[in-house]
Amino acid sequence: MTVLDRFLKYVTFETQSSEETGTTPSTPGQRVFAEELVKELEEIGLEDITLDENSYLMATLPANTDKKIPAIGFIAHLDTSPDMSGKDVTPRIVNYKGGDIVLCAEENVVLSPQMFPELNDYKDQDIIVTNGKTLLGADDKGGVAAIIAAMKYLKDHPEIEHGKIRIGFTPDEEIGEGANHFDVEKFGCEWAYTIDGGQIGELEYENFNAAAAKITFKGLNVHPGYAKNKMLNASLLAIEFASWLPASQRPEHTQGYEGFYHLTNMSGTVEEASLSYIIRDHVRTLFEEKKAQLKMWVKRMNEIYPGSTTLELRDQYYNMREVVEPKKYIVDLAFEAMESVGVKPLVKPIRGGTDGARLSFMGLPCPNIFAGGLNFHGRYEFLPVNSLEKSMQTIIKITELLAQKS
């Protein structure tokens, strides 16, 4: 089974995570997918295969040499984003010659280089697209496929010397809970790589510092015919508050290292309203300033409308650069591996987060490597086949180079 075959099989599993259930995994489909992967790992001949009660799957490809080589790991996540349906995914392979790709004629869903100019980078390549009604699932079933295909290749090619390799698959990464129950000590590696990046060549060891905020507004509801000098409309308080946040610091106006406040949800009546934000910044001091600014705005609301506004604020994860940079050789190894398989490394900050960010602070330094997909979390997601194959080859080459250098 090729890496492409594996990917096409994996996307048929419905594995969207959910923030609503409060369970781990948050949806039963992730467990079903993990159990299927156990069978595949057994068939390949991996050892120490464990699937725990929270659906964290780990396995070992033993070293095939007596050389002292650090044990390293490769990690991907089982779930797909709740932002778009992952049920009944119907992938299609297109030999792309340029121009528009009609994903769904009846709903006029078109993947166009006018909207997505990155398509032009993949002319004359086979790309996997959706039917325009679901996401594809390259995030992160591309990573799962690349890891398992690489382990199969190494198992079938014992002439490639390598040390002990651990692989791990986590649930609920898309809702920020992928590292919640990850047993770093059990995994037993000096470092690892998440295979959860986007376009070919991505190599990332910087990510956002992240926090989540919920601001709740309490109003006073009276009959509108008798409301003068009495009514306090909570929904209008929320609108007023939202207007104070700088428009220039919204995601649609930022790039690179620039952080943002992102309004993710809002609800409201006269009696009560709420705004949910995620707060992001690569620079820790600016991140702390953003949180302090939010607290100041809440204080200001309560000065104008006493007792009206409360804030729930919690940190989610931090920039892994703090942990990875002192061990930069693990990034350099991946960089060299990419170049060795004909991939130009694109070292850049992640405008988001991965399991690797939290795992790094849990004692497992964990840069992120491309799986090849683009336009994640929506109907326009696509995956160039060559990029998926290069992801697999990069994993293999990392293990080979590490053995040569040890």
* Bind-site residues for Zn(2+): 77, 139, 174, 196, 377
Query: What is the Cα–Cα distance from 193 to 331, expressed in whole angstroms?
Result: 9
Handedness of CA 352, 178, 136, 93 (dihedral sign): positive
3-state secondary structure of 374: strand
Query: What is the Cα–Cα distance from 24 to 1, expressed in whole angstroms?
Result: 30
Q: What angle do CA 168, 169, 172 make, to 5 degrees?
A: 140
Asked whether 214 and 273 are in contact (CB, 8 A), the reply is no
Amino acid at 237: L
10 half-sphere exposure, CB direction, 13 A CA radius? 33
Q: For residue 260, which of 214, 215, 298, 294 has the smallest C-alpha distance? A: 294
Query: What is the Cα–Cα distance from 89 to 14, expressed in whole angstroms?
Result: 8
Asked whether 89 and 137 are in contact (CB, 8 A), the reply is yes
Query: What is the Cα–Cα distance from 134 to 103, expressed in whole angstroms?
Result: 10
Gap between the terminal Cα atoms of the chain: 31
Q: For residue 280, which of 295, 254, 261, 293 has the smallest C-alpha distance? A: 261
Asked whether 251 and 356 are in contact (CB, 8 A), the reply is no
Tokens found for residue 241:
């508050």
Known binding positions: 77, 139, 174, 196, 377
- Active site amino acids: 79, 173
Asked whether 365 and 326 are in contact (CB, 8 A), the reply is no
381 half-sphere exposure, CB direction, 13 A CA radius? 29
Give residue for tokens 């492409």.
4
Query: What is the Cα–Cα distance from 206 to 209, expressed in whole angstroms?
Result: 9
